């Protein structure tokens, strides 16, 4: 976990909001983000552990390991903590509110590999000499038309034997399946203590901001980008981690 000073409880959507605005990664969200993502994404702590062990397995000495959409640095620090000392961990996020808090979290981590946190739109990030690239629930926030280019850049920037770990919320073509997984996810959020008002307002705010894909679409996108093999390594309700090997 990120060594945050004091994770605060997410109350962003707890009160009725008259003029609901589209979801943004602003200061209000960044302040409570650790609590928000843990209570919204089933399997999030497990996925962080999988990021750590994937890094340990695939990171190659003297390479870079990227975390695209690093938020507060939970995934970036998992990467850093499992890297050979000669590697560089690079976290990228375009939200200044996230980057500021991420840098403070990084300052509290004392693992040895070098790390840099950049405030940058990942669509312009040049991936170079990479052995591991992680996108932990970030591709889903990019305009669909930009996604293929980003994945192509990742594939091109990986060294031989390098891997890309893609974690996403998924949707289903089959309406019965879609309804089942949505219901189960709703129950998960209630179990995590969110009220029906919070769930409804957050869902409305995320409409057209978080655009999920089906597993088939993700696999096709990854293959088009030049990866030779993809494996579904985690599925927890409607959230998955796909390991793509160059």
Q: Is the dihedral of CA 13, 49, 213, 181 positive or negative?
A: negative
Q: Which helix (H) or strand (E) holds 33?
A: helix 27-40
Residue 70 near ligand GEK by CB under 6 A: yes
Please check whether residue 76 is in contact with residue 89, taking contact to mean a CB–CB distance below 8 angstroms.
yes
Contact between 54 and ligand GEK per CB under 6 A: no
Is residue 241 at the binding interface for ligand GEK, with CB under 6 A as the rule? no
> Cβ closer to ligand GEK: 92 or 130?
92
For helices 74-81 and 96-107, what crossing angle results, to 10°?
A: 40
Instruction: Pick out residues in 130-149 that bind ligand GEK (CB under 6 A).
Output: 136-138, 141-142
Q: Cα-Cα-Cα-Cα dihedral of 167, 14, 96, 243, to 10°? A: 0
User: Do residues 47 and 9 lie in contact, with contact meaning Cβ atoms separated by under 8 Å?
Assistant: no
Asked if 103 is part of the footprint of ligand GEK (rule: CB under 6 A), the reply reads no
Window contacting ligand GEK (CB under 6 A); options: 8-16, 94-102, 152-160, 237-245: 94-102
CA angle 165, 167, 168 (to 5 degrees): 150
- The CA distances from residue 148 to 64, 71, 77, 225, 242, in Å, are 22, 22, 27, 7, 16
Q: Is 75 in the site for ligand GEK (CB under 6 A)?
A: yes
Residue whose Cβ sits closest to ligand GEK: 69
Tokens encoding 100: 């500021």
* Candidate residues 54, 71, 131, 201; the one interacting with ligand GEK per rule CB under 6 A: 71
Of 52, 69, 157, 162, the one binding ligand GEK by CB under 6 A:
69
Q: Which of 87, 89, 98, 225 binds ligand GEK (CB under 6 A)?
A: 98
92 binding ligand GEK? (CB under 6 A): yes
Neighbours of 50 (CB within 10 A): 20
Nearer to ligand GEK among residue 43 and residue 84 (C-beta): 43
Q: Does residue 25 belong to the site contacting ligand GEK (CB under 6 A)?
A: yes
Q: Is residue 198 close enough to count as binding ligand GEK by CB under 6 A?
A: no
Per CB under 6 A, residues contacting ligand GEK are 25, 37, 69-71, 74-75, 92-95, 98, 121-123, 136-138, 141-142
């Amino acid at each position: 976990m990120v060594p945050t000073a004091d994770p605060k409880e997410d109350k962003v959507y707890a009160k009725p909001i008259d003029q609901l605005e589209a979801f943004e990664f602003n200061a209000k969200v960044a302040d409570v983000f650790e609590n928000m993502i843990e209570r919204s994404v089933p399997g999030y702590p497990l996925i962080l552990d999988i990021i750590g062990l994937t890094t340990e397995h695939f990171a190659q000495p003297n390479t870079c390991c990227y975390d695209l959409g690093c938020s507060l640095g939970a995934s970036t620090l998992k990467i850093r903590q499992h890297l050979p000392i000669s590697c560089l961990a690079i976290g990228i996020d375009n939200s200044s509110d996230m980057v500021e808090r991420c840098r403070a979290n990084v300052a509290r981590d004392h693992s040895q590999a070098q790390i840099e946190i950049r405030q940058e739109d990942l669509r312009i990030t040049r991936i170079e000499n990479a052995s591991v690239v992680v996108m932990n629930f970030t591709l889903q926030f990019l305009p669909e038309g930009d996604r293929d280019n980003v994945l192509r850049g990742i594939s091109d920037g990986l060294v031989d034997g390098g891997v890309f770990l893609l974690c996403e919320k998924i949707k289903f073509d089959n309406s019965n399946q879609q309804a089942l997984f949505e219901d189960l996810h709703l129950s998960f959020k209630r179990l995590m203590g969110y009220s029906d008002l919070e769930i409804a307002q957050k869902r409305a705010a995320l409409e057209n901001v978080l655009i999920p894909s089906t597993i088939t679409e993700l696999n096709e996108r990854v293959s088009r980008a030049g990866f030779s093999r993809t494996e579904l390594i985690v599925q927890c309700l409607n959230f998955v981690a796909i390991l793509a090997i160059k």
